[in-house]
Amino acid sequence: MKKILFLLAFVGLTIGAMAQQKVVKDEVKVKKTTTPGQKVHNVFSKHKHYSGTKTKHVVKVDKSATVTKP
């Protein structure tokens, strides 16, 4: 009987600890920034100046997850 109660308490604490973790989502956003003239320049030029993309690293934190202090 004591083993069953200990097991239930352990499982309950484990689930409670996992419920309080915040969800973090990493993203890399890529945006095209070249104009049609720059694209034509890259095709015909030996010196390609315009890469045409702008990258941004975004970290999103889920605000719906609540953390309570005991």
Q: Quote the longest CA-to-CA distance of the chain.
A: 81
Domain ranges of the chain: 2-61
- For residue 43, the surrounding DSSP H or E stretch is helix 36-44
Asked whether 24 and 57 are in contact (CB, 8 A), the reply is no
pLDDT tens string, the chain, 70 residues long: the values are 878 888 888 887 777 666 555 666 777 888 888 888 888 888 888 887 777 788 887 777 666 655 555 5
